[in-house]
Amino acid sequence: MRRHLAWRLALIAPTALAASIVVFFALRVLPGDIVRVIIGDVPVSPEVQEALREELGLNDALPIQYGRWLWSMVNGEFGGRSLENGEPIRSIISRHLPVTVLLAGYTVLLSIFVSVPLGVLAAVAGNRWPDYLIRVATLGGLALPNLWVALLVLLGLLLFFRWSPPIIYTAPTADPWNHMQMMVWPTLILAWEYSSHLVRVTRSTMLEGLSQAYITTARSKGLSERDVVLRHALRNALIPAVTMLGLQSGTLLSGALILETIFGLPGIGRGLVQAALARDYPVIQSLASLLVVLSLVVNLGVDIIYTLVDPRFSRAT
């Protein structure tokens, strides 16, 4: 097992490199022109455009541009500067990343605390009303686009409470109250979707587990139902839940993409959308590569947790 983990660790760098090459060249095929985006809604002569393109280094050969970008990733500049506004990408990342990480972190924590008990409850209740209620709620979480939920939440707050969340983001250290008021809504909306996955997987593995032989054995040994559920079935159900945490990490970032825009959070999802629409190559590239690395790390983390939680690993491999 250690060998397996070592392998995965070693593979992160080449995978990230390969992904960065794909991202880089895929982006260069995109139609659209950063120069026109910079200039905006005004007529401008081709000579001026050409000079600007030269100035931004867009006329160099692609491998040279790639090399330049890769070097800057290594030396800590993370892709140099934004073409659109000249801001160092390092500072873009350092500002955007914490917001998204916090949002994702709150969501994951909330989801774990909510969904494991709910999943167990649903499984134990088996086809009675708590089960149905929970299943309907999770289906809602999966079926309703979180962007629509977000718009309705804002509208509801406006129409019924004449209130809206604050509009200027602050770090939790600077102004915790403001931070909380801004983060609570996107966290709730995102957690609804995220925990729906978790509840469903917990419920179904619990159900499956409760019908298995060793549970029956445990029951026949005279263990209380509570012990059966918590000691045996739940422990088994946690493993797929952990898997789910990792598998759905993409969901978190996809949700962040939209919720950050609506709730005015300067996070990485919003930065990526803006950069994509503006064809700001270096920013898209660096942020996308960052996400690749992040997802590799998350996967690795899940694997490690996995080996810790699942007793079968030590035996099976």
Partner 1 sequence: MRLALLLVLVAAGSLALSCLGKSAPSTPDVNSGRLPAQEETTAPTTQATPSVATVSPVPGEHRTKYGGILVLANRGDPAAGFDPLRTSSIALHHVGGALFGPGNLVMRCRENTYLVCPYLATSWLANPGFTEWTFTIRNGVYWHDGTLFTAEDAKFWFDLAYFGAKVGDKTRAPAYFKGEFGDVEKVEVLEHNRLRITFRHRNPYFLDILADPRFKIAHPRHLMQARIEKGEVSISPLDVGLVGLGPFKLEAYEKGSVVRVRRSFQYWEKDGESNRLPYVDGIDYVIMPDPFAMDVAFRTGRLDGGARGQEHYLTAERKQGYVRDLGEDVFFAEMEGGNFRLGFNVLKPGPWQDPQVRRAMALWIDKRAAIPSALGGFGWTSPDLVPPNIPLPEIRTYFINWPKFDLGPLEEKRAEARRLMAGAGYADGFSMGHLCRALNPAPCEFLKAQLAGLGIDLQLHVLDEGAWSRARGTLDYDSQQGRLTPSPIPEGTESVYGRYGKNPDAYAKHEDPRVDELYRRLREALTFASRVEIWRQIERYLFVEQTYIIPIAESIQVVPYRAYVKGLVIPVEDGHTHTDFATVWLDKKKGGR
Partner 2 sequence: MKHHHDRGPRFRASFPRPLAKALSGTWVFARTKALIAVPMAVLVLLATVALFADVVATHDPLAQNVEQRLRPPGPGHYFGTDGFGRDIFSRVVHGARVSLFVGFLAVSMAAVSGTGIGMFSAYWGGKLDLLVQRVVDVLLGFPFLVLALMMVVALGPSSTSVAIGIALGLTPQVARLSRASALSIKEEEYVKAAMVIGASSYRIIWRHLLPNSGPPILAQVTGYFGTAVVAETTLSFLGLGVPPPFPSWGRMLQEGVRQYFEAAPWATVFPGLALSVSVLACALLGDAVRDLLDPRRVQTAQPRGQQGVRAGHRQAEL
The backbone torsions φ and ψ at residue 83, rounded to the nearest 5 degrees and listed phi first, read -70, -30
Stretch that binds partner 2, among 67-75, 169-177, 225-233, 293-301 (CB under 8 A): 293-301
Q: How far is CA 306 from each of CA 113, 195, 234, 301, rounded to the nearest angstrom?
A: 19, 19, 15, 8
Per CB under 8 A, the list member of 6, 51, 155, 230 interacting with partner 2 is 155
Q: What is the DSSP letter of 81?
A: B
Q: What is the DSSP letter of 157?
A: I
Coil, helix or strand at residue 212 = coil
What DSSP string describes 263-302?
HT---HHHHHHHHHHHT-HHHHHHHHHHHHHHHHHHHHHH
The H-or-E segment that residue 252 falls in is helix 249-263
Nearer to partner 2 by Cβ, of 179 and 189: the residue is 189
Structure token pair of residue 88: 């160092």
Query: What's the rounded Cα separation, in Å, for the pair 118 and 113?
Result: 9
Distance from chain centroid for Cα 229: 31
| CA-based end-to-end distance of the chain | 7
Q: Which residues ranging from 249 to 278 are in contact with partner 2 (CB under 8 A)? A: 249-254, 256-258, 269, 272-273, 276-277
Residue 73's binding partner out of partner 1, partner 2, none, with CB under 5 to 8 Å set by partner kind: none
Query: What's the rounded Cα separation, in Å, for the pair 188 and 110?
Result: 8
Note whether 285 and 88 are within 8 A (CB). Answer: no
Per CB under 8 A, the list member of 39, 188, 247, 304 interacting with partner 2 is 247
Residue 174's binding partner out of partner 1, partner 2, none, with CB under 5 to 8 Å set by partner kind: none
User: Does the protein bind partner 2 through residue 11 (CB under 8 A)?
Assistant: yes
Build a one-symbol-per-residue string for 16-45: x at contacts with partner 2 by CB under 8 A, - elsewhere: ---x------xx-xxxx-------------
Interface with partner 1 by CB under 8 A: which residues?
30-34, 36-46, 48-49, 51-52, 54-56, 84-87, 92, 95-96, 151, 154-155, 157-158, 162-164, 166-169, 261-267, 270-271, 274, 277-279
Build a one-symbol-per-residue string for 111-150: x at contacts with partner 2 by CB under 8 A, - elsewhere: ----------------------------x--xxxx-xx--
Per CB under 8 A, the list member of 72, 115, 205, 286 interacting with partner 2 is 205
Q: How far is CA 219 from each of CA 35, 128, 223, 228, 315, rounded to the nearest angstrom?
A: 71, 22, 5, 7, 25
Residue 114: name the closest of 185, 235, 202 by CA: 202
Residue 74's binding partner out of partner 2, partner 1, none, with CB under 5 to 8 Å set by partner kind: none
Q: How far is the CB of 34 from partner 1 (least distance, A)?
A: 7
Binding site for partner 2 (CB under 8 A): 1, 4, 11, 15, 19, 26-27, 29-32, 139, 142-145, 147-148, 151-152, 155, 159, 197, 200-201, 204-205, 208, 239-240, 243-244, 246-247, 249-254, 256-258, 269, 272-273, 276-277, 284, 288, 291-292, 294-296, 298-299, 303, 306, 310, 312-313, 316-317
